[in-house]
Structure 1
Amino acid sequence: MYRRYCNDCFPPFYLPNRQTPNTNMQNATPTTQGGSTAQNQIPAPMPMSPSDFEQAPGSPTNLDIQYTQGYLKTQIGKRVRISFLLGTNTFQDRTGTLLEVGISYVIIQDIDSNTRTLCDIYSIKFVTFYS
């Protein structure tokens, strides 16, 4: 079975079956009689959707509840208070309903103003969940 990995996430030596362009001109095919050169050509990559990718061995996944994103996804729809550390000693809180969780962000909706705020997940220090 052929496994497909995201080519942007891993260096070429880590990926199995990855073809890389041939930049060594010694391996190029000699000139034909018509005067044009034929080189090794790599077929264009097939368009892929995110569901086509398999996780590479040892890669963390954001769906596992032992990771912040995975656990927060189980709490979508709940009222939360999130404390962020800004700089070295400034804390700021945001309160609202947890709407979405991405790899590097969360979106909360303010209950009073009905506005949505996108928040950096790496600045989060504390999350309080309300029943």
Structure 2
Amino acid sequence: MVTGFTWLPSRSPKRNGRAASAEISTISAGRQLGDECARGGGLPHFLARCVNFIEKEGGLQTEGIYRIPGNQSQLAEVERQFASNSAPDLSSIELPLHVVATALKNFFTQLSEPVIPTVFQDPIAEAVAEDPAVVND
């Protein structure tokens, strides 16, 4: 069935541009978490700053903190700040919590390997399946 709206694009060009923005998620793209930790002498500055900001601003009590995405232009600004200055003060930029939470999610998404290496995933899943109380201990 053909509708009268076939001339409409399936997705707006503006939305496509946001989804494919080259500026987003450049902080950890293609890197390994272990290398990032070793380079910074512990947690990567980006990771530590984001977590501290979220905790300080009451993000752990904010509903949907990791579910609701942050504004893409503000997210790009956060990542530009870290690209030009390894430890910017996030509170001075006046960002919504959801922007910083989205930046944190992007950090983990863009790592070249998962946080829990694949060689350990099956043994962990088996241990939890054998004794679910292991998770709560």
* Superposed pair shares fold, TM > 0.5: no
Task: State the TM-score, normalized to the length of structure 1.
Answer: 0.26
Larger radius of gyration: 1
When you count strand as a share of all residues, which structure comes out higher?
1
Under a length normalisation based on structure 2, what TM-score does the superposition of the two structures give?
Answer: 0.26
Structure with the bigger percentage of helix: 2
